[in-house]
Each structure stands twice: as C-alpha cells, then as structure tokens.
C-alpha cells in the first residue's frame, strides 16, 4: 500500500485554488483540511474536496490532530505568522514564494524548522519546469561550452498587484533559477521604479555577479504581453528556455537543437516533491535556505536601487 501524507491548505485564493487542485490529484496525498479566512470559500472548497473546513489555522492545528503537513498560499506579509504556527504545531510546511517579507523573519522560520525537525519548502515553481531542468543538464554536460552570461525576462501585467514589489514578486523566480543553474551570486546591482500608483516598484533591472558569470534580470508589471524567458550564453552555444511553452532550444553556429524531454505541469511536480520529501525523509528540491537566499538577493537588489551602489553578498 502506497504511503500517504495528510495535508491541509491555508488560503484558497487565485493561486491557492490551483494548489488545492494539484494536491487533490496526488496519489500519495490525502487532502485533510482546507482553511481560508473567507468562511464561504472554506465551506465551498471543503465540500468540493471532502475535507474539513476551517477559517482559523490555529483552530485547524488543534482539531485536525492527524494533520501532517500544510501548504501556505496566503498573502506574503502573513507567511511568517502562519508558517511559524504550523512549525510550532509540528507540521511540515510548504510556503509560497517569497518565503517571507523580510530576511529576519525568513531566518527565524528556517531555524524554527531545523529545531522542530520538520520540512520547510518554498514554492519557487520554476525549478520544476522541465525546460529549466533540461538546461541544467545541458550546462552540466558542457553542451554550451564555457558559460558566460545568463539573462531573464519576466514581464506582463498581473491579475492583481502583489503585497510586495515586482522584485520580490517576480524577480525571486529568476534569482532562484540562476542560483539553481550556477550557484550563489557574489554581488548585486539594480535599478527600479514605479510608473503606476501603488506602494511598490513595478519595474526593475538587476545585475547579479557570480564568480566568473553575470546574470541579468528584467522584470515588470507593465508590458502588455506576458513573457517568461531565460537565456544562457556559452562560448559554444546559446540556449533559450521558454517557461510558458516549457521548451528549450540550443543554437550552435551551424544548427539549432530542440531537445525532447517529458513535459509535465511544474506545479504538480513541485507539490509531488514536497509530499515525497516527507515520505522519504529527504530534503525537498527547494529548501527554506533556498527561499532565504533568494530573498537575501532580492533585498540586496532593493538596497542597491535605493543607494545606487553595488551591494556585496558574500
């Protein structure tokens, strides 16, 4: 009989609906409880998925004693309080990116999870995009030759403005992707600004400097056409990942290769990785430390944009 993990979701807004649907389809996951501050949503989704419904997550931790793990898909400013309560209750935690709205809070979460010996995974879903995984393999195999430069473009108008600016909302995806591909950046230089009326930056350009490689990230909430692209330049070939199409092309001097690989939904792969990490008692692909590191780079980019200076990371 396949092992199964009893999981709850906290927050069934726009993205939360996709997460709850994804969890419900995993064979080794038992969707036990659904929590949302909106009573109507909590009742609607708990009925639809045959789960217990709650409007208060602390009450859920007390009453759903069999609960083993939670997926937190709430507004970013609430991530710390919700995740800290879940960890205190001894639950494994999946929390959407960014891990928290401050580095101090993120560090506290990582330490709390370590002490409680529970899994803490952060929802940097692009790590699970098959095209990025395939690019990682190509780079490791030396197909691009010596890697020189990475560039990412993540633009398009959001359904709603996030509770954080475009750097923590969008750029963290590409910060994490570049870390996944080549390791930790040494310093960051950035520019950002706001065109429309809201409290945060809505466009930014970020230069990440690694040991021998540079990575450039362009993000905004302004471009009418949604694009999610990553390119990698080597001295032998040039590669392009289209996250939306889940495709990879590698251009050599005399030919273009379009590697074929199994294509699956990144969110499904991400949630499956979380559940399997609990069953197999292993680290998830994106740990709390990964979420913290991505946030540290994002915060450094904001400091650089404010001061006009290069910010060293390590």
The string of DSSP codes covering 206-252 is EEEE-SS-EEEEEEES--SS-EEEEEEEESS-EEEEETTTTEEEEE-
Q: Is-contact 291 106, C-beta < 8 A?
A: yes
Q: Is-contact 175 217, C-beta < 8 A?
A: yes
**Alpha carbons 143 and 234: distance in angstroms, whole number:** 9
The mean pLDDT of 135-158, rounded to a whole number, is 96
Q: 108-119: per-residue pLDDT in tens?
A: 999 999 999 999
- pLDDT value, residue 30: 96
Whether residue 10 is predicted with pLDDT greater than 90 in this model: the reply is yes
CATH among 3.40.50.300, 3.40.50.1970, 1.10.3720.10, 3.30.360.10 for 126-264+296-312: 3.30.360.10
The reply to whether omega before 155 is within 30° of 0 (cis) is no
Task: Specify the CATH superfamily of domain 5-125+267-285.
Answer: NAD(P)-binding Rossmann-like Domain (3.40.50.720)
**Alpha carbons 70 and 72: distance in angstroms, whole number:** 6
| Alpha helix (H) residue ranges in the chain | 14-24, 39-49, 57-63, 79-88, 103-116, 130-140, 166, 172-182, 266-279, 288-307
Q: List the domain boundaries for the chain.
A: 5-125+267-285, 126-264+296-312
Which residue do the tokens 């990575």 mark? 215
- pLDDT value, residue 179: 98
Q: Which has the closest alpha carbon to 137: 289, 253, 282, 250?
A: 250
Whether residue 131 is predicted with pLDDT greater than 80 in this model: the reply is yes
The mean pLDDT of 189-215, rounded to a whole number, is 94
Q: 210-230: per-residue pLDDT in tens?
A: 998 999 999 999 999 999 999
Helix (H, G, I), strand (E, B) or coil at 201: coil
At 127, the pLDDT band (50, 70, 90 cuts) reads: very high
Q: Is-contact 98 170, C-beta < 8 A?
A: no
- pLDDT value, residue 2: 60
Whether residue 159 is predicted with pLDDT greater than 80 in this model: the reply is no
**Alpha carbons 12 and 15: distance in angstroms, whole number:** 7
pTM of the model: 0.95
Which residues 6+ apart lie within 8 Å of 277 measured at CB? 119, 121, 283, 284
Q: Is-contact 252 259, C-beta < 8 A?
A: no
CA-to-CA separations, 68 to 34, 80, 114, 273, 312, in angstroms, rounded: 13, 19, 16, 15, 39
Give the residue with greater pLDDT, 196 vs 295: 295
């Amino acid at each position: 009989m396949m092992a199964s993990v009893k999981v709850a979701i906290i927050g069934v807004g726009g993205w939360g609906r996709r997460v709850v649907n994804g969890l419900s389809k995993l064979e080794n996951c038992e969707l036990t409880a659904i929590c949302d501050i909106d009573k109507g949503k909590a009742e609607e989704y708990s009925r639809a998925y045959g789960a217990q419904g709650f409007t208060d997550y602390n009450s859920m931790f007390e009453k759903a004693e069999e609960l083993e793990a939670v997926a937190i898909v709430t507004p970013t400013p609430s991530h710390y309080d919700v995740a800290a309560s879940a960890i205190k209750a001894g639950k494994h935690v999946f929390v959407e990116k960014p891990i928290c709205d401050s580095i101090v809070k993120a560090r506290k979460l990582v330490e709390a999870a370590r002490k409680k010996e529970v899994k803490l995974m952060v929802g940097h879903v692009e790590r699970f995009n098959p095209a990025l995984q395939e690019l990682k393999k190509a780079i490791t195999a030396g197909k691009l030759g010596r890697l020189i430069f990475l560039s990412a473009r993540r633009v398009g108008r959001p359904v709603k403005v996030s509770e954080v600016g475009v750097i923590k909302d969008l750029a963290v995806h590409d910060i994490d992707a570049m870390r996944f591909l080549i390791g930790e950046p040494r310093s960051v230089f950035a520019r950002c600004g706001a065109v429309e009326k809201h409290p945060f930056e809505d466009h930014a350009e970020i230069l990440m400097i690694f040991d021998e490689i540079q990575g450039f990230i362009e993000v905004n909430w302004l471009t009418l056409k949604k694009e999610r692209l990553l390119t990698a330049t080597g001295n032998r070939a040039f590669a392009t990942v289209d996250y939306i199409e889940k495709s990879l092309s590698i251009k050599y001097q005399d030919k273009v290769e379009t590697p074929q690989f199994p294509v699956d939904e990144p969110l499904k792969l991400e949630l499956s990785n979380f559940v399997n990490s609990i069953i197999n008692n292993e680290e998830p692909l994106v740990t709390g430390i990964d979420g913290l590191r991505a946030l540290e780079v994002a915060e450094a980019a904001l400091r650089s944009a404010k001061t006009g200076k290069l910010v060293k990371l390590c």
